[in-house]
Chains A and B, each alone.
Chain A
Amino acid sequence: MGMTMTEKILAAHAGLPQVKAGDLIEARLDLVLGNDVTSPVAIDVFNKAGFPKVFDKEKIAIVLDHYTPCKDIKSAELCHTAREFARRFDITHFYDVGQVGVEHALLPEKGLVAPGELIIGADSHTCTYGALGAFSTGVGSTDMAAGMASGLNWFKVPAAIKVVLKGKPAKWISGKDVILHLIGLIGVDGALYKSLEFTGDGVSWLSMDDRFTISNMAIEAGGKNGIFPVDEKTVAYVQDKVSRPYTVYEADSDAEYESVVEIDMSTLRPTVALPHLPSNTRTIDEVRGMPIDQVVIGSCTNGRLSDMRIAAGLIKGHKVSGKLRVIVIPATQKIYMDMIAEGLTQIFVDAGCAVSTPTCGPCLGGHMGCMCEGERAISTTNRNFVGRMGHVKSEVVLASPAVAAASAVIGSIASPEDL
């Protein structure tokens, strides 16, 4: 029987010729990731267990991105714990304020992820690296601690859903619109415990940034991972970033899929998710004019350079509406510098946006843009749960950078076509 991409990567890392959905396996890890919220809990577990060393100081990444630059004394203590641990074991890939970026934008940019690798991260959006043809999934802090100590973890081989992407997306349709549409179709538990395997002739139209956005939100459908085939765009992306050898896996023609979902990207409209679930999707035509108080452009979902180019391109020559405030957060220091070099930062600041250094910040209601009761944001982030960006009675609408930028100029939810 044939295997999916996910099954092949898991089999290779378990040292097995074949695995199938439902098998429980123990697999070798290529990278173990944590951030300033999850690492301290993992470090506490690690220390209490009395492990004398980490399995490989080159294969652990600790990224202080959630509450940094530290929002308060307690978060400074979390970062201190992580920093001391990184120094104690001489962790190679430790990123502190000044080098840090939002983890799932940073790791691919730094070449820490390559096709065919197996990565666990104590952050649910670790599934982002599926865009590169890697198997990556979110875990908790105890898994991170066990991974740091042993370089191993257990996995249940997931059943797969094949997502066939067809057609060329229209001008304003991005990866965000594709993944929101998919989550709207299958629901927030539509891929629970499962792997989303993206394929189809439409994949070639998607930029790497679009693919990162799509894989990033696989978890919002409950997915264990969301993986793309490796093509010329993938190879071009990793070419100047990854120097170690890597393996490209392809799904067998007779691989088993539990179900198949087809999406014709040429027919999609700009799509948003209304409060309070990412599956509560509407096309822009159904929500145009909805009042908003805040716009957030950033995050591991949509804080990459292409997102900033799209947003700046729409905002250029305008002032943001007086009805709202706009927060722009480049996801990494490199993106921050590229934005300056390309004049994007100038465009945002001239228009009246606040431009922050990299942080997860408002996405999880951490800092840099929390809302009070009764406020509503349109945000390029990934979750719109109750209280996600602040007060329990505040609301988040999820959207693409194009829709967020158009809304910033017009002052209520708007389509880029309206500008």
Chain B
Amino acid sequence: MNELLPRLPFADWIDTGVDWLVDVFGPLFDGIATGLEATVETFVDIMDFPPSILLAVIFALLAWWFSTKKIALFTLIGFLFIDYLGYWYPMLQMLALVLTSVAIAIIIGVPIGIWMSQQLMARRIITPILDLMQTMPAFVYLIPAIFFFNIGVVPGLVASIIFAMPPTIRLTMLGIEQVPKDLIEATEAFGSTTWQRLLKVQIPLAKPNIMAGVNQSIMLSLSMVVIASMVGAPGLGTKVYQAVTQLKTGVGVETGVAIVLVAIILDRITQHAGRSKQGGKES
């Protein structure tokens, strides 16, 4: 093959393209980086302001509000255990990273999902991009992210957003599509505008699906924390990464368990939030 056809210099093209982007949009990327970094840091500062026990209680109350007493209790114990292990601050850094990336994934992802549910053309174009975002090894977009945003929390955050956004988009679209056809007909027959149909019927009915998407996004974002730590994002991921490089099994397991605890807490809370109050019956 190699002798018959000249090899196309794809890699060179991409490098040139990235260089060009950095040259032209450098200031813009710097601006984005500053903004994102500030957001994450603000999150960390806010959560670090109250004593750890008080924050654990606040989280537990939030869990109670969104889900059940049982999950609230688990949340309290889980957070206190992490505090006891001495990973409180890295845990907060990780949580800030995850929450920021998921918030951005929702802000961008839900409207895109709605758009895709309304326009066939949008769906045709965006679906393969989503496939790409999910299957491309995460390390690959860490490299250009470093070029664009330098080492630190931001490239990790961006990689998390890219990796975590597709489920929110897909499930939003799916949820809106799955609203029964006769309900759509009913909204049309009464003379709803497109926005009225979306806001009053389709999106409320798609809420369980959208929440399932958010839940998936949170899980995927958590799974990125170790990788993000490799480009300098601080948090529990960094502890795991250090344990790996230093072959410290004990520390590795400890931090791993801490990550899993956070994952379980976030998962249970968001699962319940999606299920709540659907026409007075569980759905």
Are chains A and B native binding partners rather than an unrelated pairing? no
Show the binding face of B for A, using Cβ within 8 Å.
none
